[in-house]
A and B are shown apart, each in its own frame.
Chain A
Amino acid sequence: MATKVSPKGLTRRQLLSRATVAGASFVVGTGFMAARNAAWATELTALKPTTFATLVQMARDIYPHDKIDDQYYVKAVKGYDTADMAEEIEAGIAALDAAARGKGNASYLDIGWEKDRVTILRGMEESPFFQKVRGGLVTGLYNQKAVWPVFGYEGESYSKGGYIDRGFDDIDWL
């Protein structure tokens, strides 16, 4: 994925990408990360940038929606970037990376295919860390009003008078 931050430095693809669009999706500075297209930016206060980038990838691998931009996954896990949470999250991501290295990869982020990352996640899905991240995403991701339109969901309708004149029975393909 174009959003990867590799601890080894930029991959060849990212290098090519940088050559053409002048940057990878993540710009990793001192405690600051941003999408190259400026769709989102976030300032990290407690987590290491690589840890946070791995957490975002983990979130996407747990609930992968190809039509949802990274910014929503970032928002869904940003709450873990606190002094109180940092130790637990750093340890969890370290365990994830250790599991990745155990399968011959440099890190979790270094694994190219989702199915191979998912294999790593399946191996730790009973862990409290995994369950915390997964459980948090159920509301952290799907309760963001900004992602609802991606699924077609229209949310609140009372202020618009309900659907009585707005298509409650407009199905035309039956």
Chain B
Amino acid sequence: MVAKFDLNDDSIVVIIGTGAGGGVLANELAQKGVKVVALEAGGRYLPEDYINDEWDSFGQLAWTEPRTTSGDWRVAKDFSGLPAWIVKAVGGTSIHWAGASLRFHEHEWKAKTHYGAVDGANLLDWPIDPAEMEPFYEKAEAKLGVTRTGDRPGLPGSNNYKVFEKGALALGYKDVSTGRMAINSVEYDGRNACQQTGFCFQGCKWGAKWSSAYTDIPRGEATGNLEVRDHVHAARILHDDKGRASGVEYFDKDGNLQMQKAKIVCVAGNSIESPRILLNSHSAMFPDGLANSSGQVGRNYMRHMTGSVYGVFDKPVRMWRGTTMAGIIRDESRHDPSRGFVGGYEFETLSLGLPFMAAFLDPGSWGREFTSALDSYENMAGMWIVGEDMPQETNRVTLNHAVTDAYGLPVANVNYTDHPNDVAMRNHAYAQGAAVYDAVGATRTLPTPPYPSTHNLGSNRMSENPRDGVVNKHGRAHDVPNLFISDGSQFTTSAAENPTLTIVALAIRQADHIAGEISKGNM
């Protein structure tokens, strides 16, 4: 039975956002008997609703409300109003994600210790030891059904993977596989096995890929402890005169302002909206925004060092057939400064359909150099590059008071400029990625610039010392004891891995912490 809670019920945990962080936290708390109201800006879409069409799906799922951009990154020029490609729906970006589920390397939890001081970077160690995360990674892998973990077999390799694998092995790479994917290779947990349909980014119509939309959310609701309010837009978090969070103001379906009282507030709106909500929650007591005595809210925004390489061959590949990202080379994810940069990166198979290839291959480009590449679309193989980017204080989410959303609230501006370490890493990856395809006889390679961000991280980061960040090792705000950050914005550093598995593991861990604190009477 789906719960329905009163606006004045102040025993509620209010969670803003229902994606990999918020959706998992909501279910985990509900399973422990904690009463939860989850606020979600988007609507409900289930596998039968997802669309095998890139632009139609984008129109259905993407967060397209106004945002602005600045900085040297090319996205600010080519997609100035779309810094991120993320989802507005119950289930959030867990509907769109590719499913790649890699644990951090041990050294990545302690980047400052291992990399040393890097000029211009605001590096910090996570206040978590890698060993602490082991059991939570195991729980997250079981929840998501990650292939090649537990006794779950790997996915079969697609055409795109076979090209990628052959080139990688020819180049001498060793750690090459169809990856650890939250996409079922066999039926698991009531979800279908992958049918190699493609369109992983458009929502999996088979439900073979894990998303909180059709797993954690309905399971949480089934406990009677979780109420999800969709189509509501969180505006700000209120606090009492002791500086404790007391509720969340939001605009309901009809645009009316409502206020849900709360015992605890958890923010999981992705790394652009989460700091925006904190900044928009400024008050006389917190003039710079909630939980921002350090001035770090919105800072150290990370989006991973990314890029793509497409290889053109003299014969068909048909890269769009099959699982989009089930292919990985991990050899370059080590920390090896002899390459000219700290940290590492992964190669992962990628394909875009023709409409998105036209939009993202080389935005703004035209003429025969561009169209002759598209003419070879059928003969292309594709890979994505994802690596650790450096946290920088000036890469940040701020409020743009000159632009307001439909509710009159200042929108987020996303400022990002590559660190020299990011540039060096990308250039290395472009060369190595091209070499992978050259080794299989590519007639042309295309080093493709970063797309609007799907990995948005770090804008409310974890720190041991309250001066260095926004939240502690449990995602709990240093300044506000009953306020938590439950999404990727709590990342201290980005590591090289796709972030969802770690977001889920942290949410499971945070649920234990919150439920424990409640039962101890500390809340």
Chain B contacts of A156 at CB under 8 A?
52-53
Chain B contacts of A164 at CB under 8 A?
194-197
Known: A171-B163, A174-B163. A139 touches B359 (CB 8 A): yes
Cβ of A148 under 8 Å from chain B = yes
Nearest-CB distance from A159 to chain B (Å)?
8
Chain B contacts of A13 at CB under 8 A?
none
A87 to B318, CA, bound (A): 43
Cβ of A78 under 8 Å from chain B = no
Cβ of A155 under 8 Å from chain B = yes
**B195 CB contact (under 8 Å) in A62, A125, A161, A174:** A161
Closest to B195 in A: A162
Nearest-CB distance from A130 to chain B (Å)?
9
Tell me if B354 and A151 are in contact (CB < 8 A): yes
**A171 CB contact (under 8 Å) in B159, B199, B205, B374:** B159
Chain B at the A interface: mostly helix, strand, loop or mixed? loop
Chain A contacts of B321 at CB under 8 A?
154, 157, 163, 166-168
**B378 CB contact (under 8 Å) in A65, A138, A141, A153:** A153
Chain B contacts of A84 at CB under 8 A?
none
Binary flags per residue of B197-216, CB closer than 8 Å to A gives 1, else 0: 11100000110000000000
Binary flags per residue of A128-142, CB closer than 8 Å to B gives 1, else 0: 000000100011011
Tell me if A163 and B354 are in contact (CB < 8 A): no
Known: A64-B367, A151-B377, A163-B198. A169 touches B354 (CB 8 A): no
Chain A contacts of B358 at CB under 8 A?
138, 141-142
Cβ of B119 under 8 Å from chain A = no
A103 to B17, CA, bound (A): 58
Could you say which of A139, A141, A168 has the most chain B C-beta atoms within 10 Å of its C-beta? A168
Known: A118-B367, A138-B358. A153 touches B377 (CB 8 A): yes
**A152 CB contact (under 8 Å) in B197, B199, B316, B440:** B316
Known: A138-B359, A148-B354. A157 touches B370 (CB 8 A): no
Chain A contacts of B220 at CB under 8 A?
none
Nearest-CB distance from A79 to chain B (Å)?
15
Tell me if B371 and A174 are in contact (CB < 8 A): no
Tell me if B371 and A64 are in contact (CB < 8 A): yes
Tell me if B197 and A157 are in contact (CB < 8 A): yes
Known: A139-B359, A157-B198. A174 touches B377 (CB 8 A): no
Tell me if B199 and A143 are in contact (CB < 8 A): no
Chain A contacts of B368 at CB under 8 A?
64
Q: A residues within 8 Å of B by Cβ?
A: 62-65, 67, 118, 125, 134, 138-139, 141-143, 148, 151-159, 161-164, 166-171, 173-174
The 3 tightest CB contacts between A and B, nearest first, are A152-B378, A162-B197, A162-B195
Q: B residues within 8 Å of A by Cβ?
A: 52-53, 55, 156-159, 162-163, 166, 194-199, 205-206, 315-318, 320-322, 353-355, 357-359, 364, 366-368, 370-371, 374-375, 377-378, 440
